[in-house]
Structure 1
Amino acid sequence: MRAAYQYRLRPTKSQIAKIEKWLDMLRHQYNYLLADRFNWYEQNCCPVNSCPLVCHLPELRNKPEYFSQKKSLPDLKKDRPWYGEIHSQVLQDCVKRVDLSFKRFIKGDCNGNKSGKPRFKGENRYKSFTFPSLSKEPVSGNILTLPKFGKIKMIYHRPIPEGFKIKTATITKKADGYYVTLSIQDDSVPDIIPIVMVTNPVGIDMGLKSFLIKSDGTDIPIPQYYRKAQKRLKKIQKAVSRSKKGSNNRKKAVTKLGKAHKKVADTRKDFHFKTAKGLLDDHDLVAHEKLNIKGLAKTKMAKSVLDAGWGQFLSILSTKAVRVAWPTALNAGLVTVAVNPRNTSQNCSNCGKKVPKKLKDRIHSCPHCGYVADRDVNAAINVLNLAVGHPVSSKAFRVSEPMGGVGKKPTLNLKRSV
């Protein structure tokens, strides 16, 4: 199992200058490699219906790929000796980023969804670099040792659990300073986890009137951090737009705006973590809808949906529940289930008959059985019934019955990266 721990760095002035220098050099190398791929693509992948009858044939060359571009790094260090200061694997990770972004543009991801055309990184747009491998014990107290960079101080606010090894380290530049994200792994954590007897399940229905409504009728109010901060953000944004481009005052205003947006994001994330912990402390199974958040973000409710941060919350909830074998985990043996949201708001949770309702109708009143409840509470009960009483197919989990019948417990397949 893999997880990520983030710590704030306390670099010296010379280390800050070194980080900035590395980021700038990696940005130039990223743009060069991306331009090389675009050049080959434009010269060799012209559409048939757009190709003129008489045209110049470019010099034929092999398609630039990950390994071919990685082989060019030794020549880069010969032509530009200052690139020898950067660790070789950090440069290789830059090539990997170019390869990944270009493949998503041409072929798409594992689901076939293509991304937009990769853009060249402008100044201050390349904000992180990764060390793919570290020494056996890179952390000693509050000191982190990085290859070819040296020792750097960090705020070690929570210890790494026993048995976990640090695999990678990513240094990131943010609005309020520099952070390091340590990717940790423990192979002893099993991928197949037995399902224990569920004693206190709950279904939740995500909403905009309330952040979520439980199947028992209780709700959690929505904080709306972004909407509450809009007045202050508008004032800072006005200062940015009125300042002259390239001036020091504009740089200060941009930094202030970035810190204000980061504060909103941090408070929202803290709320998500506390809400997820409260759910997992009280319930051993949490059922929720598998929402199309990207589709909802394209509607008139886009600002409210993005301000609520449903995607981040559901990701945090599933990640915290998966930590079943950690000795320091607050919750063990918990399960989250994503169900198909189709007709969960329309069907009656008491008799199962469909009761059509418009979005403005907030009360569910079934004409067949006479059951009356809040629309969201009825939907939360339907979500729980789907998760507990019916087989559900989801990418996040798969419940499989064992071969051979009696005496064996079903298993929950949680082979996924955290």
Structure 2
Amino acid sequence: MRTAYQYKLRPTKQQIIELDRWLSMLCAQYNYLLADRFNWYEQNRSPVNACPLICYLPELRDNPDYYSQKKTLPQLKKTHPWYGEIYSQVLQDVVKRVKTTFDRFLKGDSNGKRSGKPRFKSRSRYRTFTYPQVKEGCLQGNLINLPMFGKVKVVLHRPIPDGFKIKTASVTKKADGYYLTLSLEDETVPEVKPNFNPRSITGIDVGLKEFLTTSEGETVAISQYYRKAQKRLRITQKRVSRRKKGSNRRQKAVKQLGKSHKKVADQRKDFHFKTANWLLSKYDVIAHEELNVKGLARTRLAKSVLDAGWSSFLSILANKAVNAGLLVMTVCAYNTSQDCSNCGEKVPKKLHVRWHDCPYCGCSLDRDHNAAIVIKNRAVGQPVLKARSMSYAVAGVAEKPTPDCTQLV
């Protein structure tokens, strides 16, 4: 089993200067390696029989892949001796990041989805470096020993579980300081197998009036953290725009603005985790509609949609359900708010109409509640739950006690 814990770092002033220096050098190397790949790609991507009659013929050379770029690091340390102060594996990880970024641009990820063209990173956008391997016992009390950097104080707000070993360590610079992310692994812990009761199911309909409504009629109020902080953010943003570019006062204002935005993001993330915990502690199966959040973010409701953070919430919900051995499933979102949950007939209604009144069967309830029941009905009809329900019926199992997910979420 593999997991990750994140802790706050408390470096000294001299260590902060050194961390910033490392990030600056790694950013420059990242941009250089990315430019090398772009040069080769632009000059050698066309086959010989497809070139125009009049063209520039570059010097042919091999594709700068992961291994060839990795071999340039010893020469880099000779021409630029200050790079010798950075741990070798940290530099090698920069080459790996360039490879991953460029491969996703050309070939796509494991699902075949291609990313956009990689961008050169400014110093403010390159914020993380990684130790792919760390020695056992690197964490001693509240100090972590980073190779070729030294010991840095860590705020251990929770202990590392017994039996887990630290595999990698990443240092990230955020608006309010530096953070340490430890990747932990314990091979003796088996993967959690799905063990859910198909009868303990609910459908959820996310919205902007209420954050979500369950098929049982329970609602979670929407917390508009960005809108609540918008007035303060506007003042802070004005302070940044009125100050001279490159000045120390502008840098202070930018740092203050970053802290304000991070606070909003942290509040939203905490709300998502607590809501996911509440759902997983009550139900074994949670169904939701398959949303096109990117499309919704291009409408007039973009600010409210992005403030709600549906994609982030559904991702957290799915990940925590896997860890708890429960199930989160998606259903088709077509006409979930138009179909009647009682008779199945289509009852057209515009967005401002918040109440569902079916003229065919007389069903009358809140629009979001009706949609949540439709989502639940569609999930019950899926083969996974049908097969599971039959196995429970044959075994004569009435109810399975809901597991305590408070320690898992």
Q: TM-score, normalised by structure 1?
A: 0.87
2:354 alignment counterpart? 362
Task: Tell me, yes or no, if the aligned pair for 1:386 and 1:392 is still in contact at 8 Å.
Answer: no
1:187 corresponds to 2:179:
no
Written as runs of structure 1 = structure 2, the 5 A alignment for 1:228-239 is 228-239=228-239
Q: Deviations over 1:197-237 (max 9, x none)?
A: 34532221110111111111121111111111111111111
Question: How far apart in 2 are the matches of 1:133 and 1:279?
Answer: 37
1:341 alignment counterpart? 333
**Identity of aligned pairs, percent?**
63
- Displacement of 1:128 after TM fit? 0.6
- Displacement of 1:116 after TM fit? 2.2
- Once structures 1 and 2 are overlaid, which stretch shifts more, 182-191 or 96-105? 182-191
Question: How far apart in 2 are the matches of 1:285 and 1:137?
Answer: 41
* Secondary structure of the corresponding residue to residue 193 of structure 1: coil
Letter in 1 for 2:332: N
Q: Deviations over 1:276-301 (max 9, x none)?
A: 12222222322222222222222222
2:342 alignment counterpart? 350
1:261 corresponds to 2:261:
yes
1:220 corresponds to 2:212:
no
Q: TM-score, normalised by structure 2?
A: 0.89
- Displacement of 1:401 after TM fit? 11
Written as runs of structure 1 = structure 2, the 5 A alignment for 1:72-111 is 72-111=72-111
Task: Tell me, yes or no, if the aligned pair for 1:206 and 1:213 is still in contact at 8 Å.
Answer: yes
Letter in 1 for 2:197: M
- Give structure 2 stretches of 5+ with no counterpart: 398-408
Letter in 2 for 1:132: P
Task: Tell me, yes or no, if the aligned pair for 1:30 and 1:98 is still in contact at 8 Å.
Answer: yes
Task: Tell me, yes or no, if the aligned pair for 2:132 and 2:168 is still in contact at 8 Å.
Answer: yes
1:271 alignment counterpart? 271
Task: Tell me, yes or no, if the aligned pair for 1:339 and 1:392 is still in contact at 8 Å.
Answer: no
Letter in 2 for 1:157: H
Q: Deviations over 1:305-347 (max 9, x none)?
A: 11001111112222222223xxxxxxxx432222222222222
Q: Deviations over 1:345-391 (max 9, x none)?
A: 22222122333333222222222222111111111112222223422
- Displacement of 1:400 after TM fit? 8.5
Letter in 2 for 1:232: R
- Once structures 1 and 2 are overlaid, which stretch shifts more, 225-234 or 184-193? 184-193
1:8 corresponds to 2:16:
no
Question: How far apart in 1 are the matches of 2:130 and 2:371?
Answer: 44
Question: How far apart in 2 are the matches of 1:138 and 1:387?
Answer: 48
Q: Deviations over 1:72-99 (max 9, x none)?
A: 1122122222212111111111111111
Distance 1:65 1:389, change over 3 A: same
- Displacement of 1:120 after TM fit? 1.3
What is the RMSD computed on CA atoms of the aligned residues? 2.8
Question: How far apart in 2 are the matches of 1:129 and 1:363?
Answer: 52
Question: How far apart in 1 are the matches of 2:159 and 2:390?
Answer: 38
Letter in 2 for 1:177: G
Question: How far apart in 2 are the matches of 1:399 and 1:79?
Answer: 65
Written as runs of structure 1 = structure 2, the 5 A alignment for 1:96-135 is 96-135=96-135
* Secondary structure of the corresponding residue to residue 344 of structure 1: coil
1:377 alignment counterpart? 369
Question: How far apart in 2 are the matches of 1:372 and 1:163?
Answer: 55
- Give structure 1 stretches of 5+ with no counterpart: 325-332, 410-417
Letter in 2 for 1:121: K
Question: How far apart in 2 are the matches of 1:266 and 1:387?
Answer: 32
- Displacement of 1:189 after TM fit? 4.1
Task: Tell me, yes or no, if the aligned pair for 1:402 and 1:408 is still in contact at 8 Å.
Answer: no
Question: How far apart in 1 are the matches of 2:138 and 2:346?
Answer: 59
Task: Tell me, yes or no, if the aligned pair for 1:132 and 1:168 is still in contact at 8 Å.
Answer: yes
Question: How far apart in 1 are the matches of 2:248 and 2:23?
Answer: 21
Distance 1:402 1:218, change over 3 A: closer
Question: How far apart in 1 are the matches of 2:343 and 2:188?
Answer: 46
1:390 alignment counterpart? 382
Task: Tell me, yes or no, if the aligned pair for 1:225 and 1:267 is still in contact at 8 Å.
Answer: yes
* Secondary structure of the corresponding residue to residue 278 of structure 2: helix
Question: How far apart in 2 are the matches of 1:401 and 1:54?
Answer: 69
